[in-house]
Amino acid sequence: MSKQAAEYAWPDNYRSAVALSFDLDAESVILAVDRAYAARPSVMTHQAYGPITGLPRLLEILLEAGYRGTFFIPGFTADRYPGAVEAVLDGGHEVAHHGYLHRPPAHLTPEEERAELERGLEALARHGVRPVGFRAPWWETSPHTLGLLSEYGFDYDASLFDRDTPYAVTTPNGSIIEIPQSWALDDWERYAYMPDPPAGQGVIERPADVMETWWQEIVAYREYGGCAVPVMHPFLSGRPARALALRELLGRLASLPDVWVATLGDIAAHTSRLEMVPVPLDLPGLESF
């Protein structure tokens, strides 16, 4: 194990962690671009594949593997597909906040950001859920996001990129746990394609290649004692060949008994127990450019 691997104390002698996360965006990610897409059946059904077809398949794979995931669910999805939320909860998975209509906080006024947060909370509350975690749509936080989350009693955010392990951030309203992310572990960059609105990189990758890349990432996070957070969208990763490739990856993951496979909520709770000194989210000098 490298020196860096000893810098974060995982529980029960684990070397590292993997958190399987899913963004159940459905139509919200497209409607946030332009609500006129609601009149485009091909575009809307492309997104509806997630809660209708992809989600049940992914839940079955998680059940078979014996792993719990964290599902970031926009309030719009919860309102439109209540059965999907109930299926996630019935599977014993964590439900976390992902905005209401997948609007990035960085593009909103402080008042709009608060309203989106509250509306998303109300939608999840109709399912008896009070989420402890948040992922900003498009991972685009604003300068106010972490303070707002802390004000509303969230335990963690999963939107930033500057470390390999969780850490505590100080805000005007108290501290919050940050669980860093990586674009390399996002299926959107690998699988997404749509001509209008334009989505993805123009190349749809082979599932076997994507899973091999993710496996390399997981092994590297293990070497450095980090926390790997694959991000899957059911309308993408729930497609047949991709779901089967994920099942194979989870089988390989079981061959690493010293890697803790946990929900983001469990990882945040463990980090809180470490009583780390919170650090400021400071970008000194950058605001002058």
Mean pLDDT of the chain: 95
- Beta sheet of 259-261, edge-to-edge order: 227-228, 16-18, 259-261
Q: What is the average pLDDT across 29-56?
A: 98
Decide if pLDDT at 79 tops 90.
Answer: yes
Cβ-contact 138, 104 below 8 angstroms: yes
Give 179's pLDDT tier (boundaries 50, 70, 90): very high
pLDDT at position 201: 79
What pTM value is reported for the model? 0.96
Contact assessment for residue 72 and residue 97, using Cβ atoms and an 8 Å cutoff: yes
Answer yes or no: CATH 3.20.20.370 is held by domain 3-277.
yes
What percent of the chain is modeled with pLDDT above 90? 92
Residue 255, judged by CB atoms within 10 A of its CB (0-12, 13-18, 19+), counts as: exposed
Residue 284, pLDDT score? 57
The model's confidence at residue 289, banded by pLDDT at 50, 70 and 90, is low
Residue 5 pLDDT exceeds 60: no
Q: What is the mean pLDDT of residues 112-134?
A: 98
pLDDT of amino acid 285: 54
Q: Which secondary structure element, helix H or strand E, spans residue 264, and what is its range?
A: helix 264-273
Confidence band (pLDDT; 50, 70, 90) for 287?
low
Query: Given a cut of 80, is residue 282 above it in pLDDT?
Result: no
